[in-house]
Amino acid sequence: MSTKQAKANLNNIKMQAANEVGVNLNQGYNGDLTARQAGSIGGQMVKKMIESYEQNAK
């Protein structure tokens, strides 16, 4: 997987995670997010990545 593909996949995970926790993200600048919102997105991303890893490891 190329770096460009990896970045695109990570961005997709981020957008999905933001939708799941109810945070509206814009393409590009999102400096207006609170720390709580950003943390919620990051936590949801980690959950999704762990689930993906566990499914692929079997």
Write out pLDDT tens, residues 1-58: 799 999 999 999 999 999 999 999 988 899 999 999 999 999 999 999 999 899 998 7
Distance from C-alpha of 52 to C-alpha of 16, rounded to nearest angstrom: 14
pLDDT at 27: 85
SS3 of residue 3 by DSSP: helix
Q: Is the dihedral of CA 17, 50, 57, 2 positive or negative?
A: positive
CA max distance for the chain = 40
Q: Is the dihedral of CA 6, 36, 47, 15 positive or negative?
A: negative
